[in-house]
């Protein structure tokens, strides 16, 4: 029975183990993850999560002030539970740890995702819970006789008589040391690990193809033009001249407090969007080389030329389009009131 169960659970162990080790190392080698001033940092993500998460009071009072140690704990914890699943050391404890991390991600990062099954963290929580309840059946693990032989070679001839508690303690200690070692390599030789991982944290996004000839896109329906002397009845958020030089500009949306972004499209029209990602609430950024608005947190991408439509990522909801007015005489851009 145990061998049959071990064979059944092996694919789940491999998937969860590799994925969590990979996720933890990506965080450790990402210089922006623990830098509060960097786009997509943990602090920025936590502020975004606090908008909708049921754990918002804990996020604002505990997680944000302690973002650096919590970020390190999450990253090293992911590596440790991933190794536990792969090696079969402290397997059930590692699985419960993976379940706890995934459940916390579901209650924070994925909570705003609707419908819920588009969120990536709930399936991981279910997978870890299954592994925690069923165990690995002792199939392809380093514990048991293999761990005993290793311990004996390290100088303990009585390893066969170890109590289950002692074995569990040493297995957990082994995982902790291994995870700490990987973290040390990540901090001292991040380029080496990045080379092993490849382009781990970002990917090139190819915008959706236009439905018409190049340059045939019509001006945004949310954009209106007014003549000299007309009253825009809105809030000034930029100028055509400044936008032509930079290609994009950011502003605050007074009605919601959200960040907003202005973009001048290739056909000359100007569009504006609420820059809050519809997946987990992080702030999207305009990437000119991709002609896309991209989320630095979870990889969502949106097409500004097609009403903020989703190009990639864990969301099906487009960005919110903001109505703007352009004064043809002064070039002032107004956010409709």
Tell me the pLDDT tens digit for each residue of 153-178: 655 556 556 677 877 888 899 899 99
For the stretch 174-192, pLDDT in tens is 899 999 999 999 888 887 7
Which residue, of 149, 179, 197, is where some domain finishes? Answer: 197
CB burial of 210-228 (b: ≥16 within 10 Å; e: otherwise) equals eeeeeeebeebebbeebee
pLDDT mean across residues, the chain:
80
> Helices H, strands E: what count in the chain?
10, 11
The per-residue pLDDT for 208 is: 34
Whether 160 is in a domain gets the answer yes
Q: How many domains does the chain have?
A: 2
Q: Quote the tokens at residue 205.
A: 């996004």
For the stretch 305-314, pLDDT in tens is 888 888 877 7
Does residue 222 sit in helix, strand or coil?
Answer: coil
Question: Do both 265 and 165 map to the same domain?
Answer: no
Whether 165 is in a domain gets the answer yes
Q: Strand 223-226 vs strand 324-327: parallel, antiparallel, or unpaired?
A: parallel
52 falls in which pLDDT band (50, 70, 90)?
confident
Question: Do both 178 and 56 map to the same domain?
Answer: yes
How far apart CA 64 and CA 46 sit, in angstroms, is: 6
How far apart CA 292 and CA 221 sit, in angstroms, is: 19
Question: Do both 239 and 137 map to the same domain?
Answer: no
Q: Quote the tokens at residue 9.
A: 């659970």
Tell me whether residue 190 is exposed, middle or buried, using C-beta atoms within 10 angstroms of its C-beta: 0 to 12, 13 to 18, 19 or more.
middle
Question: Do both 146 and 285 map to the same domain?
Answer: no
Question: Do both 227 and 193 map to the same domain?
Answer: no
41 falls in which pLDDT band (50, 70, 90)?
confident
76 falls in which pLDDT band (50, 70, 90)?
very high
Question: Do both 24 and 136 map to the same domain?
Answer: yes
- Domain span at residue 183 reads 2-197
206 falls in which pLDDT band (50, 70, 90)?
very low
Q: Strand 301-303 vs strand 309-312: parallel, antiparallel, or unpaired?
A: antiparallel
Question: Do both 186 and 227 map to the same domain?
Answer: no
Prediction pTM value: 0.65
The overall longest dimension of the chain from CA atoms, in Å, is: 93
Question: Do both 192 and 258 map to the same domain?
Answer: no
Decide if 138 contacts 6 (C-beta within 8 A): yes
The per-residue pLDDT for 162 is: 63
Question: Do both 32 and 147 map to the same domain?
Answer: yes
Q: What is the mean pLDDT of the segment spanning 129-141?
A: 90
Question: Among the residues of 112-189, which ranges form H helices?
Answer: 121-134, 145-153, 164-188
Q: What is the mean pLDDT of the segment spanning 191-204?
A: 58
For residue 213, is pLDDT > 80? no
The per-residue pLDDT for 226 is: 45
For residue 207, is pLDDT > 60? no
The per-residue pLDDT for 159 is: 56
The per-residue pLDDT for 156 is: 58
Whether 204 is in a domain gets the answer no
Question: Do both 45 and 115 map to the same domain?
Answer: yes
Q: What is the mean pLDDT of the segment spanning 313-323?
A: 84
* Of 102-111, 205-214, 242-251, the least confident: 205-214
Angle among Cα 79, 84, 89 to the nearest 5 degrees reads 145
Backbone phi, then psi, for 116, in 5-degree steps?
-60, -30
The per-residue pLDDT for 214 is: 31
Tell me whether residue 61 is exposed, middle or buried, using C-beta atoms within 10 angstroms of its C-beta: 0 to 12, 13 to 18, 19 or more.
exposed
Q: Which of 93, 131, 98, 126 has its CA nearest to residue 20?
A: 98
Q: Sign of the CA dihedral 41, 43, 44, 49?
A: positive
70 falls in which pLDDT band (50, 70, 90)?
very high
Give the alpha-carbon dihedral of 240, 246, 247, 253, to 10 degrees. Answer: -70
Residue 303 pairs with which residues in a beta bridge?
Answer: 309
Does residue 136 sit in helix, strand or coil?
Answer: coil
Whether 209 is in a domain gets the answer no
Whether 161 is in a domain gets the answer yes
């Amino acid at each position: 029975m145990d061998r049959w169960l071990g064979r059944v659970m092996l694919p789940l162990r491999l998937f969860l183990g590799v994925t969590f080790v990979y996720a933890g190392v990506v965080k450790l080698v990402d210089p922006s993850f623990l830098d509060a001033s960097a786009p997509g940092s943990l602090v920025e993500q936590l502020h975004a999560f606090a908008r909708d998460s049921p754990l918002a009071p804990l996020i604002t009072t505990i997680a944000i002030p302690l973002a650096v140690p919590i970020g390190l704990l999450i990253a090293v914890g992911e590596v440790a539970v991933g190794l536990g699943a792969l090696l079969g050391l402290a397997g059930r404890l590692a699985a419960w740890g993976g379940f706890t991390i995934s459940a916390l991600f579901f209650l924070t990062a994925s909570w705003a995702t609707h419908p819920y099954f588009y969120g990536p963290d709930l399936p991981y929580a279910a997978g870890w819970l299954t592994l925690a309840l069923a165990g690995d059946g002792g199939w392809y693990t380093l514990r048991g006789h293999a761990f005993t032989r290793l311990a004996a070679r390290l100088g303990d001839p009585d390893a066969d008589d170890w109590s289950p508690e002692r074995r569990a303690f040493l297995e957990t200690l082994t995982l902790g040391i291994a995870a700490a070692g990987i973290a040390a390599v990540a901090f001292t030789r991040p380029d080496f690990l990045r080379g092993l991982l490849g382009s781990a944290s970002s990917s090139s996004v190819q915008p959706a193809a236009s439905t018409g000839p190049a340059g045939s896109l019509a001006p945004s329906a949310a954009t209106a033009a007014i003549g000299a002397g007309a009253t825009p009845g809105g809030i000034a958020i930029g100028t055509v001249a400044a936008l032509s030089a930079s290609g994009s500009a950011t502003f605050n949306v007074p009605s919601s407090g959200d960040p907003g972004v202005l973009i001048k499209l290739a056909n000359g029209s100007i569009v504006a969007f609420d820059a809050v990602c519809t997946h987990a609430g992080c702030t999207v950024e305009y990437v000119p080389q991709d002609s896309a608005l991209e989320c630095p947190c979870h990889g969502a991408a949106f097409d500004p030329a097609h009403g903020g439509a989703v190009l990639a990522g864990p969301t099906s909801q487009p960005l919110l389009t903001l109505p703007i007015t352009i004064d043809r005489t002064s070039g002032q851009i107004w956010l409709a009131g």
